Amino acid sequence: MRRRPLAGRNSSQTYTQLFRIKRPLLGCVGMVVVVSLFLIPSFGRSPQRFSEFSGRFDAKISPVLREELASRSANPEDNRLMSVIVQVDVDFFAFNQELDRQSGLENPNALSLVHAYSARLQAHQIRWLLESPVVDYVTQDVVIRSSSDTGGDPTGDILGSRRRPPVTPEDQNNVTLKAIGADQAQAAGYSGKGVTVAVLDSGFNRHPDLNEKRVLEVVDFTSGEPIILDRKKNHDDYGHGTPVSGIIGGTGKESRGRYRGVAPKVKFVQVKVVGEDGTGLTSNLIKAIEWVIENKDTYGIGVANISVGHSPVESYKTDPLCQVMERLVEAGIVAVASAGNLGKTEEYPEIWGAINSPANDPKVIAVYPLNTRGTATHGDDISTSYGSRGPSHLDGLFKPDLSAPGNAITSLVAKGSTIDRQNPDLRVGKHYIKLSGASMATAVVTGTVALMLEANSGLDVNLIRHILLLSAIKLEQPHMLEQGNGLVNVLTAVELAAVVDLDTHYVGDEVSPHWDLDGETVWVGGAFANGNQIVYSRLVDADISPVWGSGISWADGIFWADGIFWADGIFWADGIFWADGIFWADGIFWADGIFWADGLFWADGLFWADGLFWADTHQSLTGQLSGDD
């Protein structure tokens, strides 16, 4: 949902409509009376009356905020402030000034790219806004959180526990790079040189593996306004942004290369959006993304890593955070975001359909964390218990898009930070820390995109996305709504990026659809799901494992090509991969029980088992409505 000024609309007429209740009073008693009238609660005295009111405006208010207002209406004395984001359908800046003048609202914060503002309001003020014809939508200004899990996944090996593992010649980070072919891409000379990554997280601390010379800017948005920080000082008081940056581009200097990142020569723009406790506000993240878009050319930003987000509370179509992420992608910046760590709670050991915002947006690459169990080969790769599973909440889109190693990953420590102080047993030597979560997996994919852009700086967002999805390695054990289109395949993605013709989108026969890994043949997936469509290419070969997650086989009607090389493959201008022998339709039966057409039909028993669907619970929403006084 894009908000634009209404052309040809008379602004004074618009304001008369907006303030029609107050306008007759202005000439008689002045501003004092207007402000007083604005502050008089008008909900009525019973939940039933509020229910009758809210039913008329369901399309203009997010479901969770509506429930909160209904609850508060039972107590007329409840005048606590709630943090909300209001989207309007008029000339944005003029509306903001008029609203401030008329109502006396405290510090409305402009979110210009989504034609909205954030403010702290009482319940009756929100109702007043809902009645305005120029207010499109009101949602809560949700608390965002980083997507790391310091506990790891208790699914087998010592690397998933909180005990510090013994140092071995080939430890987890060497395994991670080897498992996805990143070590081979680096050996071929790719390092991310010349590419800039924007990391929207908790900030950055200087480290021997990533010094300030590679950081072009550090800007703090935790107050809602940009504050430029000194790159030579430490600012990551929570301790999350530093290890995320290390996975993307640490050099591994202090570990003799053992704990190096995927793209060890990238440059960074560090954007701080969460504070010392690992939380922040959605509105501040929106403003930070706006800043990244505005400064894209200044710093040469090609990809943004968003390892923060909030639990799904509404459709991506009305979520202002998703809307600004779409603007980020439209600006030519690849958006890689954490799918989240909402896969379980203490009460529910398995939850489905809880992809974080903004990863639930179809234009954003959502990443799920896998557990490699300490080996490079893929026969024993499993899902993590904590990673957020698909499909997307309410919209039912195929998510996550990709998976990557995310369990017990060693990276840079922000010494003295909250995470470091609270988890001393996770330290690995003096300079590193071992963390788990979708944040770690997201950083792996971001580093991959940096290598692709180094290989071919002319790649557009669509080409990068579809190369990543098509080349991903499909695994047998994790469910397809956990692994997504498969495990990120760094080697093949970079090789494809290097040879694709940007004018014709032609892919020749220079790239093999498989590579060797310790005696295991690693095949590209050769097909991908995107939103609510599936594309099969001629690269789907009979020699590739026909199973993609939880024993669900590929449909029978696939064209089986020789699968030896990428032959006659073309990326069309609309971003959809096309090739000779492709199997394509508007609606495709995919195995037994899933029908992809305009939406999704989930067969009974497909993935429910003992799990819980996100729509049945909002366990993670407790305490997330911010700004209550």
- Residue 445: exposed, middle, or buried by beta-carbon count in 10 A (0-12, 13-18, 19+)? buried
Distance CA 617, CA 393 (A): 11
Count of positions (residues) in the chain: 629
C-alpha R_g of the chain: 25
Evaluate whether 377 touches 180 at the Cβ level (below 8 Å): no
Give the catalytic positions in this structure.
Answer: 201, 240, 439
Q: Which of 317, 2, 284, 349 is nearest to 141 (CA)?
A: 284
Strand partners, 602: 594
For 395-422, the three-class secondary structure string (H helix, E strand, C coil) is CCCECCCEEEECCCEEEECCCCCHHHHH
Positions of E strands within 93-214: 109-111, 116-121, 135-140, 143-146, 196-201
Residue 628 is inside which H or E element, if any? none
Query: Residue 200, SS3?
Result: strand
Distance CA 247, CA 263 (A): 8
Q: Which of 461, 462, 445, 467 is nearest to 511 (CA)?
A: 467
Q: Which two tokens stand for residue 54?
A: 């809210």
Positions of E strands within 78-152: 82-88, 109-111, 116-121, 135-140, 143-146
DSSP-derived secondary structure for 435-494: EBSHHHHHHHHHHHHHHHHHH-TT--HHHHHHHHHHHPBPPSSS-HHHHTT-B--HHHHH
**At residue 420, what are phi and psi to the nearest 5 degrees?**
-65, -45
Distance CA 323, CA 130 (A): 20
Question: How far, in Å, are 129, 288, 295, 354, 511 from residue 313 at the CA level?
Answer: 20, 21, 30, 9, 42
Amino acid at 85: I
Q: Cis peptide leading into 400, omega within 30 of 0?
A: yes
Q: Which of 154, 150, 625 is nearest to 349 (CA)?
A: 154
CA within 13 Å, CB half, 329: 22
Positions of E strands within 11-104: 82-88
Q: Which two tokens stand for residue 618?
A: 């909002």
